[in-house]
Structure formats: structure tokens, C-alpha cells
Chains A and B, each alone.
Chain A
């Protein structure tokens, strides 16, 4: 079977869940070959093999951390030359989309970003399903020239353990002359909250203007923790300084597509809906019965979140206990 190149997202060798989903997608198109770059890349092989990777190409060159984007483009391009895949898949993220696009341009291939699903078309080539205009439309697209380069959003496919050979190979990369153009001067790691990352979480609990203050985000965090979910925030809440921008859900923030989305004190302006409308199950709690968010919900409560949310958290903890 033809090889499909899967670019691995990992943090210090710990593979992030969307990459495992990507391996499921890759197996629909052929045999997954993984490429892992940066510090700890070598430690990813076991997990990747356990999810169907036949080979794991590894490079831990310091260039990946010291310079932006271009070293990874060089490396993935090298992997493409080595493997000659029928498609290259990335997990959708700001940086990965940029790497994918630059790679596609070099390969004279088309690029598709933010697929919510990928299937094998009649000719075996990938057909990408995307969601457009705040999820009011679903489109089906394909790459018509070159090796399809596609980025896939988290939560687009199930994680399926399958044994692959997982043969580890060192990827030797000759970095292009322009690789050192954009230098990383310093880096500070984000403080870990211990909660799942927003875009990859199966459950997201978000708070908005209705919370009334930053302190009240404690209600949202408690509910998220009871459910094992991530915390999101509306733009209004972020602009008010109540919660960090990294948690903003919406058109100008992150786009999430979890199994369950709970919106508390969020009216549901189009910009917010653009970021969460593909969530599988939607629950909203809001004082205003006319709030547009109620048009989207599977279950909604018209009421004061300051009493409804704590009661919900308590009830969940009781049921768990």
C-alpha cells in the first residue's frame, strides 16, 4: 500500500492526541509513515507504532527550536523526498498550517487546511470535508495537482490502537540557506493548568460576559474539572481581562469541535458561534431566553449561571462519587 506522511505534534516527546487521530485518518489512505521533529522526537516512536505507524522518521536538530517555521518545512520536504507519499497530513494549528502551505508550494501541490474529515475518494486520493462560514456550510474538496497536503482539525477521527512496525530512522536534513531568517530570541513555556488543551479537549466549558467578573471563572473551572474538560472564554470575557486570550473561542480565537460544549453566560454572537458550532453536543446556560445561543443547543437552561453552574458541578461530583 502507498505511504501517507503524518507530521507528528509532540511536546518533548509526548505525542499529542490529535496526531493519534491523524494516524486513523492516514490509514484510510494508505500506510502511515510518521515524521517527528525537535527535542524528544525519538521518544515518540513507541506510541506512534502502537497506532499504526510503519516507520518513524526522526530529527532532533536544534534548528527546529531556534528558528521559526522554515527548518520544519525543510525537514518535511526531505521526508517527502525519502518516502514519496500519496499525501502529507498535519494537525491543524497556526504553525502547522504555515509549514503545510510552504511545503505545498515547494512541491507545487495544492493545500487544504482545517479539514474536519478526510476520506479516500474513488481514485483513492483524499477528499477533504471542511466546514465554512461559521459552520453553516459543509464543503468537499480535493487537491488537483501534486501530492495533497492537508491539515486536519483535532477531534476529526477516533483514536484507534493498531500495531505498526514503527521502524525508527534518522532523518538527515540539509537546511536551506534562508532557514535562519526568523530567530527565536527567548521562549517561555505556558504554565500548565493540568487541564486538557482547548482545541483537543473532548469537553469544553466556556464562560462569557454573564459571569460578571474574572473571579467567577472559578465556577467554570470547577465545572470543567468535574467533567475533565478544558476551559474556554468568549471574546467579551477575554477583552474584559477576565481570562487569558489563549482560551478565547471564536472567529478571532480558537476553533473547537469537542464532543460536548457548555456555554455559560455567553449570548452566542456569530463570532463566537464560528468557533464552536461544529461541537457535537451543545449545552447553554443563560439568563436571557432570547440569546441566539439557544438556537444551537441540545439542552438549554434559562437561568442565573451563578446558581445553575454550581448546582450542576455539585450534582456531577455527587454522581461520580
Chain B
């Protein structure tokens, strides 16, 4: 029995660019370059390692939801070695909150067919980190999230979850949803061969109709939260910067005392 792995990835505004909001208070995707969310590269990497450990008896399908450009995120994952791609794109998705997005992702994952869903720990734009949990809830399967190690053997997925107060070894029967942290293992760079091979790989394009989802359930119309205001944070007023001439440490102590920290 072949292991069907679906990796969920997101195309996000580049953090080193000038990120901001559009007039309708959604994330501005025009004014800044996008890329595959760095934290999702770890998810792709772990999916590929699990697939490799299955000696070829596995498939890795990369799934993204987003506007036209988001296909780039799928392409990047394909060039790393994923087998196939799915891009869910529909104008009615604009303005979706995490509830709407998780509905679309869950529907697409179900349609694709899966034994294991692998996600990154959070997107680097919204940074909520709740999509994997919502997917597990919607799909009615086990959730193993925030794993710093993950492996699959004999129909069981297991891993290590490092919390604030304890580190846990956890496991669940497949099917399951997992999310992995940036401690799970450095993501590979696409090789030239991988980039060439990716061009031949199939990326399916689905819209809401194909997922049999009502437009009212997603986008701004289906959002259960609303953003009322966005303000650019006032630039910090320039602080004091001094050169250490031998009294630098005492200068800091003096400053801390003036702010009552000492």
C-alpha cells in the first residue's frame, strides 16, 4: 500500500521586503515579492524524507491555496523533489480568514486523497500556527503538531514535540496531520536536475466549484473575524548610541538605573 503524503505550503510576502496592507486591509500581495514560506520548506523536506524512507512506495503531493503567483510555491517544492502539485485558486477566496482557508485546504486534501498531511509550524505572514490543528479537526484525524522529529513506520507516525516545560514523544495511527518546526532538519536546495524535472511535473488547478464549496463560506463573506484598522507602527524615536571608550558597561547600567530596571 502506497503512502499518500500531502504537504500544505503557502506563498507569502518576502520578510526582507516592504510588507504591508492593501486598501481593503488584507495583506498586500502586489507591492512585495512573494516566495515559498521558509517554515514550509521544512515540511516539504520532512515529507520527502518520509517518502524516501518508504523506498519509493510513497507519493508527495504539494498543495497550495492562493492567487496566481502562489503557483511559484508549488514549483519550488516540486523542484525540491515533490511528485505532483495542486493549486487552488478562485477570486472568491480573497479575504479568507483562517477558518475559510482551513475549509478549503481540508476539502482539497480530501479530494486529493491522503494518509499523511505535513504542514509547517506557521506561515511567516499571519504566523497564527493553527491551520494544522483546524485541518485535523475538520478531517477528523489525529493531530501531531509542532514536531522537531518525525517518522512513519508500520502505519504509525511518531515524533518529538518540544514544549516550554517538557519534551514529549508522541505517536498516532495514520491517517494524521502533522506539523514540523524549523528544528526538524535543514531543507534541501533544489538541484539543477530537480529544477528541470519540476518543469515536467503536473500542477492541477482547482477552483471552488471543483471542491464543491459555496463561495459564501470563504473569502471576506465567510470570514468569522474582521480587521477594523491597520496602523503603521510609529518609528521608534532615535535612541542614544555611544561608542565604548572603556566605560560602556557602566553607561548601560546608568541608563538602566534611570529607567528603574536596577
Instruction: Check B244 against A100 for contact (C-beta < 8 Å).
Output: no
Q: Mark A55-73, 1 if CB is under 8 A from B, else 0.
A: 0000000000000111001
Instruction: Check B21 against A68 for contact (C-beta < 8 Å).
Output: no
Q: Mark B78-112, 1 if CB is under 8 A from A, else 0.
A: 00000000000000000001110010000000000
A282 to B240, CA, bound (A): 11
Give the secondary structure class of B's interface. Answer: mixed
Q: Which one, A69, A104, A189, contacts B145 given CB within 8 A?
A: A69
Question: Knowing A93-B164, A136-B19 touch, does A141 contact B228 (C-beta < 8 A)?
Answer: yes
Q: How far is the CB of A281 from chain B (nearest CB, A)?
A: 6
Residue of B nearest to A134 (CB): B15
Q: Does A217 touch B at the CB level, under 8 Å?
A: no
What is the count of residue pairs linking A and B with beta-carbon distances less than 8 angstroms? 264
Q: Using C-beta atoms within 8 Å of the partner chain, give the interface range for chain B.
A: 35 or more
A99 to B169, CA, bound (A): 19
Interface size on A, residues (CB 8 A): 95
Instruction: Check A111 against B223 for contact (C-beta < 8 Å).
Output: no
Collect the chain A residues with CB atoms within 8 Å of residue B241's CB: 289, 294, 297, 299-302
Q: Does A169 touch B at the CB level, under 8 Å?
A: no
Instruction: Check B129 against A308 for contact (C-beta < 8 Å).
Output: no
Q: Does A3 touch B at the CB level, under 8 Å?
A: no
A190 to B162, CA, bound (A): 9
Collect the chain B residues with CB atoms within 8 Å of residue A295's CB: 236
Residue of A nearest to B251 (CB): A301
Q: Does A95 touch B at the CB level, under 8 Å?
A: yes
Collect the chain A residues with CB atoms within 8 Å of residue B176's CB: 181-182
Instruction: Check A98 against B133 for contact (C-beta < 8 Å).
Output: yes
A195 to B164, CA, bound (A): 13
Residue of A nearest to B245 (CB): A303
Among B57-65, B204-212, B254-262, the stretch in contact with A:
B254-262
Q: Which one, A111, A113, A303, A315, contacts B253 given CB within 8 A?
A: A315
A138 to B235, CA, bound (A): 12
Q: Does A112 touch B at the CB level, under 8 Å?
A: yes
Collect the chain A residues with CB atoms within 8 Å of residue B164's CB: 93, 190, 197, 199, 246
| 4 interchain residue pairs of minimum CB distance | A303-B244, A311-B249, A110-B224, A181-B142
Supply 17 further A-B pairs (C-beta < 8 A) apart from A138-B231, A182-B170: A93-B164, A97-B130, A106-B137, A133-B19, A133-B20, A137-B21, A185-B170, A187-B166, A188-B166, A189-B165, A274-B15, A295-B236, A298-B239, A303-B248, A308-B248, A309-B249, A312-B250
A-B contact pairs, 25 of them (CB 8 A): A101-B128, A101-B134, A102-B136, A114-B127, A132-B21, A133-B15, A133-B19, A134-B15, A137-B20, A139-B25, A144-B224, A144-B225, A181-B176, A182-B144, A188-B168, A197-B164, A271-B15, A274-B15, A289-B241, A301-B244, A308-B248, A312-B248, A315-B250, A315-B253, A319-B262
